[in-house]
Structure 1
Amino acid sequence: MLSETDLEFVHALQEAPRASWNLLAQVLETDARTVARRYVRLRDEGQIRVVATLGPRMLAEAHWAHLRARTLPGQALTVARQLAEWPQAASVRVTDGAFEVYAWLTGLDARTLWRSTQEGIARIPQIVRADMQTVVESLDIGRAERLDVLSARQVAALRRQQVPPTPPGHEATRFSEADAELWRLLADGRMEVARAADHLGRSPSAVSRRIARLQADGYLDFVTMIAEPLSSAPHAALIWCRIDPDELGLLQRHRAELHWAGLLSVATGRSNVMAMANLTTLGSLNAVIAQLRAVCPSVEIHDTQLSAQAVKRHSRMVTDEELWTDEITNPYPDLSRAFE
């Protein structure tokens, strides 16, 4: 379990993933060396990861899909591990229910995503049945849940370090192959600018400016992720439901009330909404469903599934204890082509 000091540090990183050790130390009222050592320990133990992720502009270009697979008896974990090797599988879980494996798929081309998934399914004989749904709108794509440990003053000090978004009407910079390479390097979101610059053959100041520009233009973002079993909501439930199309807008307007939803999407198929709920206890599932009904009265719950084990999250493999590893697959091999 994380100590109170560790929780404060993780919350600080969630608010400012790339803040300097000096700033973090100042906010946490300690010294920079202690903060750096704490990060190395938590990272080496697989408890946290800071990673680069798609910014809003890049998210608008990405395509997403849900995949549920029914397997031969006793083969769910084997199938989940095979799906986790797919580059397009961002997250993979073993679940209860009739479909024992769930995968969140992503890519920059819808046709390629569908074709590669169908071909992959055909190569796994343990899959008895598979159901793939195209996501037509993502209201949330799994941002790390914010802890609530720091004071308002501390949070404000960290948020002042955030890169302001590009003003409306401003022409965004062109995303290049060099930017795609930088994005991949930042799979370790705390990578020092000097190391990235050395790899790219550029000056540290130029790389630092480029990271800030890519963030401001919505191509790049950073997120701090905590190992799920150590979080304040260690249980994950998938809620498959139908909501009247006239009420779908309510999900966006009342998103803050659905704070438990780590993933919220509108998709094709009979169940046109899937919400992944982060639960403090298994018994809180009914309360979560009640909140969803309060926002969208037309909701019809078709199925609920509890996650028995995560095999992959945010394109990273996790251990059997669901701690982070450094094994990562790249679902976006052609990032720069999206903006040609």
Structure 2
Amino acid sequence: MTQEFGMTALDDLDQALVHALQIAPRAGWARIGAAVGADPVTVARRWQRLARSGSAWIGCHPGPAAAESGQGCLAFVEVDCANGRLTEVARALVAEAHVITVEHVSGGRDLLLTVLAPRLSALTRWVTHRLGALDGIVGTRTHLASTVYTEGSRWRLRALSSEQIARLSEDAAPRGDTSAFELTDLDHALFAELSVDGRASHTVLAERCGTSPDTVRRRVNRLLSSGMAQFRCEVARPLSEWPVSLILWGRAAPAELRTVAEQVTGAREVRLCAGVIGRHNLKLVAWVRSLDDAQRFEVRLAERVPALTVVDRAVALWPMKLNGNLLDERGYRTGAVPIDVRAVGG
């Protein structure tokens, strides 16, 4: 590791640690240490330094199962800003608890937002009355997500061997063995706390949410096993070897959309693949090594998925907010805004 803030490289142990936490983000340090070949004190100290420097972090956000159960909707909103007003508009939007991602992007829009809402009517009201009235905005376009085929919590740094991955995975909490359920105020409070610190202990969460550690343990386990919550260990993009975030919008025949999406998600670079309802029907985000590699990735994608037609593309110039986490212009974490789907109102 090279420096306390704004680290410029991850050594082998750092990379192994991040990969381990991507697989088991809330596992104890003894289990993480055993997987990466280091003692618990060392890996805990390493993680503290990574987190303190903004080089890596763990958060939590509502999973696709929440929307599938009728308790939320996901939208991607393009925003056009008046000349000279982009920073002002972005500053207002990153402060909103339900606008979980804000990116300054190239191409035919200035900002690209990822927005969560408890229901379609709430989203509509926010777009119409809040976003539409915000000074400095001259136009917006809203694309509703239908199915999320893959998202960033499944993306891996790939620093561990297959044996190390198996060791971590065999003790991991089971996913998808609990059916969706009605989210409570406590669940939403836990989302808010865990979105800022995904490794917060049950004791700390209990103190902040006004309940007992045993209750927190049960609720967190249920959120995870049902797929209602997704934990995610992120690394600052300059440290990932894939520093360029490429956004593609595509079109496939409706009858082939699921097959196309499954083929897309098989590409290592892909961090998000979602069906959308709009002028295009598929959106994907990929991390690539360079701008040249962005073009090469599109060529590889066309060869891999000939049934997909890419119709628009952009590069994230500055991901200002990523799943509630605030990032500087280099991509390092500087803080967080707790995620609260209900903050949209309506």
TM-score, normalising length: structure 2: 0.87
1:148–1:266 Cα change, 3 Å: same
**Cα pair 2:149 2:262 within 8 Å, conserved:** no
Q: Could you report, residue by residue, the CA deviation over 1:274-316 in whole angstroms, capped at 9, with x for unpaired residues?
A: 2122111211222322333335434333221111111110122
Query: Any unmatched runs of 5+ in structure 1?
Result: 336-340
Partner Cα distance (2:176, 2:318) in 1: 39
1:85–1:191 Cα change, 3 Å: same
RMSD: 2.5
In the TM superposition, residue 232 of structure 1 has moved relative to its aligned partner by 2.4
The aligned residue for residue 175 of structure 2 is 165
Alignment of 1:75-114 (within 5 A): 75-114=85-124
SS of equivalent to 1:317: strand
Query: Any unmatched runs of 5+ in structure 2?
Result: 1-8
| Pairing 1:27–2:24 present | no
| Pairing 1:142–2:152 present | yes
In the TM superposition, residue 224 of structure 1 has moved relative to its aligned partner by 0.8
**Cα pair 1:239 1:276 within 8 Å, conserved:** yes
Partner Cα distance (1:126, 1:9) in 2: 43
Match of 2:240 among 209, 224, 231: 231
In the TM superposition, residue 159 of structure 1 has moved relative to its aligned partner by 0.9
The aligned residue for residue 24 of structure 2 is 16
Q: Name the aligned partner's letter for residue 251 of structure 2.
A: R
The aligned residue for residue 338 of structure 1 is none
Match of 2:262 among 253, 258, 273: 253
The aligned residue for residue 176 of structure 1 is 184
1:212–1:286 Cα change, 3 Å: same
SS of equivalent to 1:254: helix
Alignment of 1:154-233 (within 5 A): 154-165=164-175, 167=177, 175-187=183-195, 188-200=197-209, 202-233=211-242
Q: Name the aligned partner's letter for residue 271 of structure 2.
A: G
Alignment of 1:310-321 (within 5 A): 310-321=319-330
**Cα pair 1:166 1:217 within 8 Å, conserved:** yes
| Pairing 1:290–2:299 present | yes
Q: Could you report, residue by residue, the CA deviation over 1:39-96 in whole angstroms, capped at 9, with x for unpaired residues?
A: 1111111111112222453242331112112222343333222222233321111112
The aligned residue for residue 125 of structure 1 is 135
**Cα pair 1:263 1:276 within 8 Å, conserved:** yes
Q: Could you report, residue by residue, the CA deviation over 1:9-57 in whole angstroms, capped at 9, with x for unpaired residues?
A: 1111111101111111222222211111111111111111112222453
In the TM superposition, residue 234 of structure 1 has moved relative to its aligned partner by 0.9
**Cα pair 1:77 1:94 within 8 Å, conserved:** no
SS of equivalent to 2:134: coil
The percent identity for this pair of structures is 25
**Cα pair 2:32 2:43 within 8 Å, conserved:** yes
Partner Cα distance (1:301, 1:207) in 2: 44
SS of equivalent to 1:66: strand
Relative to structure 2, which stretch is displaced further, 117-126 or 36-45?
A: 117-126
The aligned residue for residue 274 of structure 1 is 283
Match of 2:271 among 262, 272, 292: 262
In the TM superposition, residue 200 of structure 1 has moved relative to its aligned partner by 4.5
**Cα pair 2:98 2:342 within 8 Å, conserved:** no
Q: Name the aligned partner's letter for residue 294 of structure 2.
A: L
Q: Could you report, residue by residue, the CA deviation over 1:202-258 in whole angstroms, capped at 9, with x for unpaired residues?
A: 543443344223322333332211122221211011212222212212234324423
Q: Name the aligned partner's letter for residue 27 of structure 1.
A: A
1:285–1:328 Cα change, 3 Å: same
Tell me the matched-pair count. 334
SS of equivalent to 2:342: coil
